[in-house]
A and B are shown apart, each in its own frame.
Chain A
């Protein structure tokens, strides 16, 4: 059934889900929601399975005309949403009726919001996923960002018996200064002389920050003398921090599968939502942790999502 019509698309609004990992060995980027936490929580708030497709909304929000009754929920960046010009809260579900106008505004904090709707956004599954990949022009709506007058269907699903609200203890705050926990390498050894700088310095997020990667600006991180600036191309994964010859690190995200630059460190997966919500001009410090600690963070995050799911299903 048709869920909503796009009255204004916002600056970059795409359909995303948990990503398309089936063909990453054939150069098809994983895509998927950049902030995996807000994405999953938006779905849980709307009463969906965590892996349902949602809208990922960047910086400036869209306006949507509701075409059938549904529950919606917004998580992530605060885009001061309204329904028929009445404010609704982030991190809560809200009921919409046919003819309602849902409007999102500029991000007041954070960078990306996730809009979930009952039954999930029901665009065709392409190669195992609904995620939009702009580069390969697949997934979502014809492999592109939403445009005015697009009509998006939703899947079947039950409306909520009672509205859902995420308890404050689980709501993240997005700050302009972030510390990102990272793991060494995979090519840390070619940066021995630069490691101190890398872990002491403050890096600025530049305007070149998108779903492909975040280019940072800071003191140059040089390769050690006599070490080649590039390597034989190899697979790259979200969170890898590559350092090209100019010494300015790039945090790789979800739209690239191979690369030929050395990677000094890799952002721990549970920290990637912080990157997704960081804006140009925000400051980043890197903190190195060990693999055991990173895996403990991963287990904690999985437990936290289970707790959130249990909280909703038991309340």
Chain B
């Protein structure tokens, strides 16, 4: 297969305070792996003048202070980093386990997804919970993760009419994507379950359970455990 990776990172200014650094084309595990490696190295040893490293599917954005650095200097740093991306050991992705109560009131669209896929609800759950999903990017709302790797058998179009309010923790499917709504928000995804975990807890020292590059593993839990965890989380 032709490589979608670029020979070297391509920089595009995104205004006067940031550059967008692209590592390849498309939504591709190899490209995202490189983004993840570069982000890890950049954060481990933040280059002079760099204020934020924001990884995405196939690129990362660097916010910088123009009084302390420039895109030219960052370009040199990034080219140098290329060599190290191969040498340096990048830690394996962290697996973050997310308990989900599938179906019922918490997953009103599980039946629709099953019917659309020609499977039973139990099969849909087994498939959905049977994969580790890489987090390609976090955005849209605090902690909303763009996940890759949904099994094509359970891919389902969005709802024709989006719901005006989805409770935080809702787990959904839209086309070939799956994800979790961390906070209450409107949304058009097919909701197959809900996690009792609080995925955005601003009062905690670390308000999030995961970052881009980690992997999400869903596992089904019974109603009683959902209630118990939900109480514990919101105590």
Q: Which residues of A approach B to under 8 Å, CB–CB? A: 21, 23-28, 126-127, 135-138, 183-187, 232-235, 237-240, 257-258, 263, 266-270, 291, 294-295, 297-299, 302
Choose among B14, B16, B59, B66 the residue with the greatest number of A CB atoms under 10 Å from its CB. B16
Contacts of A127 in B (CB 8 A): 202, 207
Shortest C-beta distance, B36 to chain A (Å), equals 12
Contact A235 B54 (CB under 8 A): yes
Shortest C-beta distance, A139 to chain B (Å), equals 9
Q: Which residue of A has the minimal Cβ distance to B62?
A: A235
Docked pose: A28 CA to B146 CA in angstroms? 15
B38 at the interface (CB under 8 A from A): no
The segment from B125-133, B136-144, B223-231 found at the interface with A is B136-144
Nearest first, the 10 closest Cβ-Cβ pairs linking A and B are A258-B139, A266-B15, A294-B16, A235-B61, A186-B12, A235-B54, A25-B54, A234-B56, A27-B139, A28-B142
Docked pose: A238 CA to B52 CA in angstroms? 14
Contacts of A239 in B (CB 8 A): 15
Docked pose: A24 CA to B143 CA in angstroms? 10
Docked pose: A261 CA to B20 CA in angstroms? 15
Choose among A235, A291, A294 the residue with the greatest number of B CB atoms under 10 Å from its CB. A235
- Contact residues of B: prevailing secondary structure: loop
Contact B17 A237 (CB under 8 A): yes
CB-CB under 8 A for A23 and B208, given A269-B15, A299-B66: yes
Contact B61 A237 (CB under 8 A): yes
Shortest C-beta distance, B223 to chain A (Å), equals 28
Q: Which residue of A has the minimal Cβ distance to B11?
A: A186
B118 at the interface (CB under 8 A from A): no
Shortest C-beta distance, B195 to chain A (Å), equals 17
Contact of A234 among B59, B67, B71, B144 (CB under 8 A): B59
CB-CB under 8 A for A258 and B140, given A25-B54, A183-B16, A233-B146: yes
Q: Which residue of A has the minimal Cβ distance to B144?
A: A27
Contact B183 A234 (CB under 8 A): no
Residues in B43-66 with C-beta less than 8 Å from chain A? 51-61, 63, 66
Contact of A268 among B15, B142, B146 (CB under 8 A): B15
Contacts of B13 in A (CB 8 A): 183-186, 266, 291
B26 at the interface (CB under 8 A from A): yes
Contact A232 B15 (CB under 8 A): no
Contacts of A126 in B (CB 8 A): 202-203
Using an 8 Å CB-CB cutoff, how does the interface string of B62-80 with A read, 1 for contact, 0 for none? Answer: 0100110011000000000
Contact A299 B211 (CB under 8 A): no
Docked pose: A21 CA to B137 CA in angstroms? 16
- Contact residues of A: prevailing secondary structure: mixed
Q: Which residue of A has the minimal Cβ distance to B185?
A: A135
B27 at the interface (CB under 8 A from A): yes
Shortest C-beta distance, A84 to chain B (Å), equals 39
B18 at the interface (CB under 8 A from A): yes
Contacts of A234 in B (CB 8 A): 20, 56-59, 61, 137
Contact A235 B56 (CB under 8 A): yes
Docked pose: A296 CA to B143 CA in angstroms? 36
Contact A232 B16 (CB under 8 A): no
Contact of A233 among B12, B53, B57 (CB under 8 A): B57
Contact A302 B20 (CB under 8 A): no
CB-CB under 8 A for A185 and B142, given A23-B208, A136-B200: no
Docked pose: A136 CA to B201 CA in angstroms? 11
14 contacts between A and B (CB under 8 A): A24-B63, A26-B143, A27-B138, A27-B143, A185-B12, A233-B146, A235-B54, A235-B56, A235-B139, A239-B15, A240-B14, A240-B15, A257-B54, A295-B66
Contacts of B14 in A (CB 8 A): 185-186, 235, 237, 240, 263, 266
Shortest C-beta distance, B189 to chain A (Å), equals 15
